[in-house]
């Protein structure tokens, strides 16, 4: 799949690639979002991220023309923040989330970020293990962070 001139597209396998999200991708990203979260972001939230948030970049993983995952990252001055990451249920366990997160880390470093933070549910041990594998360490707790059930979030950081 061709990208913008000078843009690097990382191929995971012969059929899965990662590229920046466009406005036209939002319908499929919403499918991933609705398949992944009990309290999903709205379409309007994604539209705002793509159209209006100059700090936001979203990466998508796709197989052919099918979007199977995405990862959002904000880079503000020298700090980056992972806003969300999701993979379609049928594609989980294939290291696609890991590849997306590695690409997000690379993107943040290219934008001169010195660190990346994220929040993760205290109950989401699979995600925590992935983040630790990629160098993230616990930095604190956000009490009652998640609005659906008021679960705490672990704040994790990695220095780039």
Residues classed as catalytic: 119, 131
CA dist 86 and 69 (Å) reads 5
Tokens of 22: 């466009």
Residue 151 burial by CB count (10 A; 0-12/13-18/19+): exposed, middle or buried? middle
**What letters, b where the CB count within 10 A reaches 16 and e where it falls short, cover 67-80?**
bbbbbbbbbeeeeb
């Amino acid at each position: 799949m061709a990208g913008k001139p000078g843009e690097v597209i990382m191929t995971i396998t012969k059929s899965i690639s990662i590229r920046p999200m466009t406005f036209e991708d939002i319908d499929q990203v919403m499918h991933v979002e609705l398949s992944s979260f009990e309290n999903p972001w709205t379409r309007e939230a994604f539209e705002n991220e793509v159209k209006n948030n100059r700090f936001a970049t979203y990466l998508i993983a796709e197989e052919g023309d099918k979007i199977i995952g995405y990862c959002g990252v904000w880079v503000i001055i020298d700090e980056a923040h992972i806003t969300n990451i999701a993979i379609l249920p049928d594609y989980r366990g294939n290291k696609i989330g890991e590849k997306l997160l590695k690409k997000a880390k690379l993107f943040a470093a290219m934008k001169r970020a010195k660190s990346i933070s994220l929040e993760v549910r205290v109950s989401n041990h699979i995600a925590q293990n992935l983040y630790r594998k990629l160098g993230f360490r616990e930095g604190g707790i956000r009490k009652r962070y998640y609005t659906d059930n008021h679960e705490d979030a672990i704040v994790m950081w990695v220095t780039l």
